[in-house]
Amino acid sequence: QSALTQPASVSGSPGQSITISCTGTNSDIGSYDFVSWFQQHPGKAPKFIMYEVSYRPSGVSDRFSGSKSGNTASLTISGLQTDDEADYYCSSYSTGDTVVFGGGTKVTVL
Amino acid sequence: QVLLVQSGADVEKPGASVKLSCKTSGDTFASYFIHWVRQGPGQGLEWLGIIDPNDGTTTYAQKFQGRVTMTGDTSTKTVYMELNSLRSDDTAVYYCARGSGWIGTRVDYWGQGTLVTVSS
């Protein structure tokens, strides 16, 4: 159960779009559409912002979108805002009824 | 409103055990799964396991097999996570979180977290 691979950091200017990748294996992302994304501000609990690859929970801005291709899932934030500056984590269901998280990506709004 | 209220911060010595609680509200205990996830200082999220409080069925991450036990108390709608043989690298904030959807894969609501410090 190795962690999913995310870039350590991604940055963008206000109004721009950024994409965070999350790479797994055929035991998780490649075989299942149970990929979720979480946003975490410093000192806070993670917040659920995407599930089953591309579905947004109620109340989450439509500036967040998700996709998947092969063993890699992606989260795109469009119209970047200062409040989007946070850590982002992906997770996936994995064979054996387990869950695996990514290492996290720090998003900086320049 | 979905609430998961966790127990307070804890300090333990290496080799000891810690048992954390997560009190649920509404129909969470009877109808959903509970995940336990931890986050070491300055580190990412790490999944420990999941319990179906309704029947006590558990699945643990391979890394914690034999060292973690998750249980539930129907009378108080509280879920517990016990971690044994603590080491310094178990120092972390431990979260419980609700799992909904297919076998609880949708981790939608999180507790406030419990800081566990392992130090001699």
What string of H, E and C letters represents the secondary structure of chain A? CCCEECCCEEEECCCCCEEEEEECCCCCCCCCCCEEEEEECCCCCCEEEEECCCECCCCCCCCEEEEEECCEEEEEECCCCHHHCEEEEEEEEECCCEEEEECCEEEEEC
A-B Cβ pairs (cutoff 8 Å, strict): 64
**pLDDT over threshold 80, residue A1:** no
Q: Which pLDDT tens digit goes with each residue over B46-90? A: 999 999 998 999 999 999 999 999 999 999 999 999 999 999 999
Mean pLDDT of chain A: 96
pLDDT at A51: 96
Terminal-to-terminal C-alpha distance of chain B: 40
In the predicted model, what is the mean pLDDT of residues A23-39?
Answer: 96
Q: What was the pLDDT predicted at A54?
A: 97
Separation CA A102–CA B46 (nearest Å): 9
> In this complex, is the C-beta atom of A1 within 8 Å of any C-beta atom belonging to chain B?
yes
Distance from CA of A48 to the nearest CA of B (A): 5
pLDDT for residue A74 is more than 90: yes
Residues of A in contact with B97 (CB under 8 A): 46
Interchain CB contact of B66 with A (< 8 Å): no
> A66 in contact with B at a CB cutoff of 8 Å?
no
Both tokens of A73, joined, read: 């899932």
Do B6 and B36 touch, CB atoms closer than 8 A? Answer: no
**Distance between A94 CA and the closest CA of chain B, angstroms:** 10
State how far residue B76 is from chain A, nearest Cα, in angstroms.
24
Query: Residue A4: pLDDT above 80?
Result: yes
The 3-state DSSP class for residue B7 equals coil
- Tell me the average pLDDT across A76-101: 96
Q: Tell me the pLDDT tens digit for each residue of B1-30.
A: 889 999 999 999 999 999 999 999 988 888
